[in-house]
Each structure stands twice: as structure tokens, then as C-alpha cells.
Amino acid sequence: MTGVAVLVDHDRGTLSGGALEALTAARSLAQALETTVEAVVLGDTALFESHGADLVAACGAYGASVVHRGIGDLLADYGPDAWGAALSSFVEAERPVAVTSVGTDRGAEAMAQLAARADLPLVANCVTVTPAAQNWQITRVQWGGSLLEDVTLEASLPLVTFAHHSVEAEPADNADEPTVRDFEPELGPDAERTLVRDRVTLTEGVTLATASVVVSGGRGVGSADGFAALEELAELLGGRVGCSRAVTNNGWRNHADQVGQTGTRIAPEIYIACGISGAIQHWVGAMGSKNILAINIDPEANMVTKAGYAVIADLHKVVPAVCDEIRRRRDRP
């Protein structure tokens, strides 16, 4: 083949949002290379029986002209070795001009497994990729998005992942029914070493990542108990409580609540940041918010200067007053 191969990220047949981003990004790459987008989907026979039609249709709608279905018993569920081996067996047999995916957990990991197996460079978390005869010109993110790095890539087969959320998934304009081709990857004994053995589901309502209101506290909250007022505000607004790393490090809150580079990236309608200075590693997790209200005693704090709205005062006074005001208006007939 001479197309751009896209590893499609899915969980037992359900596409991840990242998969459609990768297909969308691959279209511009394929256009620059004057070639086609070809999707690679891994699974077992049962998975394709139940989800095959949907997967193929989605890949087609997002611009794949061919869908390569890699079928094997060990591909019933995810495993980094199984996916890495399947992908490298595909690459050896089909010789695509480039392989790409998205920087989700599975996408990033399977691509790194391919890169290690094929002994090829892999440029992770790209935002723009410009192919060239010799050295590809690429811009990628560092520091979880706080810094950009321009690099060149010299490789017999370029491997790149796109940063998750850096491309907006868009269906292709003139999508055709894709051709389906099946292959049975050679997996080898190593593929069994790292299969998912079990799954535990923790039911949760609104997650931090998807909440429309996030009320976060930082070191300025002062203690675990200090979060009671923030909990109350979040509850009144149907939102979730978040925090900074200073808070998790002090053991005031669980790491699951941490917003930032090594925590969760949020995208609420409004982020209410109380007693948080706005270090760059916190900011990259919060910058996807549509609006930011900083409550801080320091008017020079980075969180304040970057926020659209601020109250320059003690959070221990402001947050309860806001709760009271909300209740007062709701009680009004």
C-alpha cells in the first residue's frame, strides 16, 4: 500500500474520541503526500461480528478509503504487546508511507510499541506535521502543552502521534464506502504477556473532565476541612470539586481531583479557582475552560492575571457568601 495508515483507538469495539481526531489529522497528511488514508482496526472475530459494521462506517465517514481489519484471538481485548505486534506485522506486510495515531493512553502506547519493535523514531504529540522528501518538519507539544518544540524527523517510515484534542474531529466531505481488507497478524508468544486480565468499573456521575462547573481549591484553602465550602458551592452548581497539586501533596484531597499536567484536563463552562496561584503545570490543565473566575488575595497571581474574572479577597469569606447568595435567589418566589 502507499497510504497513510491510522491505528484506530477503540475499546472492545467502541471508538475513542481520539480515533476520529487521528483520522481527521491523517487526511491532511495524506493530502500533502498525495495519497489515501487507510485505517487499521484490531480485534477478534466476535468483536468484528458485533461492532465491525459500525467501526468500518465510522472510519469511512472520517475519510478512510480502506479499512484493514487485523483479526486474531489475542486481539479480543487490548494489550500493548498484542497491539504493538499486530501493528508491526501489518507494517511489514503492507509498507505504508507513514503510520499515525492519537496520543491517548492506547494510541501513544501502541505506537511506542511499534516504534520499539521496528527500531524507528516516533514523534509524539504533534500539532502540525509537514511532510517533505527528506526531513519532515513537525511541531509537537512539550510540558503537557505549555511549550512547543519544532523538530525534524528523518526516518524510512515516519511514525507520529497527534496530541489529543489538538485536532477537531470532522467527517470527510466526500466520503465513499471504504474497502475492507482482512489480515491475520503474526503475534508471536510475547503478545500474551500484557493482555487486560480483568476490569473493574467504578460508577461515577459527572467526572472532573466533563463537568460544566469546576470549583477548585489550592494551598490557600489551608486544610482538608477548608474544602467544605467549596464542596457546597460545587453542589449548588451541579459541578465537581478540583484542586492543585499543593493540595494533593498535603493529603487534603485525593489525586483524582487534581487539575493539571499530571492530573486531569478540564473543559468546564466556568472554572472557579480559589487560592490557586496558577503555576504553568496547573494552568495547562485549566486552560480549556471557557471562563475562569479566580478568587485570590494576590492581585498579581498568575491565575488572576490570566482569568477573565477575579475577586481579590479571602476565599474563606467569598465562597460562603456566594453560596448564601445563590440560596437566597433560589428561595425567592
Partner 1 sequence: MRILVCVKRVPSPGSRINVTDDGQQVDSAHLGFTTSPHEECAVEEAVQLIERVTASDSDNNEDHAVVVLTLGPEAAGEQLRYAASVGATGFALVEAEGGLDWDPQRTATAITGAVRSLEADEGPFDLILFGNESADGGNFQVGIRVAHALGRPIVNGIKGIDSRPDGGFVARRETDAGYEVYELDAPCALGVKEGINLPRYPTMKGRLASRKAHIATLDSASAAAAGGQTRVRLHRPPERASTTVVLGDSAAAAPAVVDLLDELGVL
- Nearest approach in angstroms of CB 289 to ligand FAD is 14
Beta 147-153 vs 136-142: how paired, if at all?
antiparallel
- Nearest approach in angstroms of CB 219 to ligand FAD is 4
Contact between 279 and partner 1 (CB under 8 A)?
A: yes
* Count of other CB atoms within 10 angstroms of residue 214: 29
Q: Which is nearer to ligand FAD, 184 or 298 (CB)?
A: 298
> Nearest CA to 232 among 125, 319, 132?
319
- Nearest approach in angstroms of CB 253 to ligand FAD is 11
Q: Which is nearer to ligand FAD, 59 or 301 (CB)?
A: 301
- Nearest approach in angstroms of CB 318 to partner 1 is 5
Q: Which does 218 bind (CB under 5 to 8 A by kind): partner 1, ligand FAD, none?
A: ligand FAD
Spatial distance between the Cα atoms of 209 and 75, rounded to a whole number of angstroms: 29
Q: Which does 76 bind (CB under 5 to 8 A by kind): partner 1, ligand FAD, none?
A: none
Q: Which does 276 bind (CB under 5 to 8 A by kind): ligand FAD, partner 1, none?
A: ligand FAD
Q: How many residues does the structure list for the chain?
A: 333
Q: Which does 298 bind (CB under 5 to 8 A by kind): ligand FAD, partner 1, none?
A: ligand FAD
DSSP string, 106-152: HHHHHHHHHHHHHT---EEEEEEEE--SSPEEEEEEEGGGTEEEEEE
In sequence order, the β-bridge partners of residue 240 are 214
- Nearest approach in angstroms of CB 229 to ligand FAD is 11
61-100: contacts with partner 1 (CB under 8 A):
78, 80-81
In sequence order, the β-bridge partners of residue 183 are 70
Chain centroid to CA 225: 32
Region class of 251: left (phi > 0), else alpha (psi between -120 and 50), else beta: left
- The region of 23-31, 69-77, 114-122, 240-248 touching ligand FAD under the rule CB under 6 A is 240-248
Spatial distance between the Cα atoms of 114 and 67, rounded to a whole number of angstroms: 19
Contact between 237 and partner 1 (CB under 8 A)?
A: yes
- The region of 27-35, 54-62, 220-228, 274-282 touching partner 1 under the rule CB under 8 A is 274-282
In sequence order, the β-bridge partners of residue 330 are none
User: Which of 133, 201, 225, 332 touches partner 1 (CB under 8 A)?
Assistant: 201
User: Which of 213, 260, 266, 272 touches ligand FAD (CB under 6 A)?
Assistant: 260
Spatial distance between the Cα atoms of 232 and 225, rounded to a whole number of angstroms: 12
Spatial distance between the Cα atoms of 59 and 10, rounded to a whole number of angstroms: 12
Q: Which is nearer to partner 1, 174 or 251 (CB)?
A: 251
- Nearest approach in angstroms of CB 229 to partner 1 is 12
Spatial distance between the Cα atoms of 131 and 148, rounded to a whole number of angstroms: 18
What string marks each residue from 297 to 316 as x (binds ligand FAD by CB under 6 A) or -?
xx--x------------xxx
User: Which of 64, 220, 258, 259 touches partner 1 (CB under 8 A)?
Assistant: 258
- For 165, 274, 309, the CA distances from 67, given in Å and listed in that order, are 23, 49, 48
User: Which of 12, 117, 219, 306 touches ligand FAD (CB under 6 A)?
Assistant: 219
User: Which of 54, 73, 182, 190 touches partner 1 (CB under 8 A)?
Assistant: 190
Spatial distance between the Cα atoms of 98 and 265, rounded to a whole number of angstroms: 29
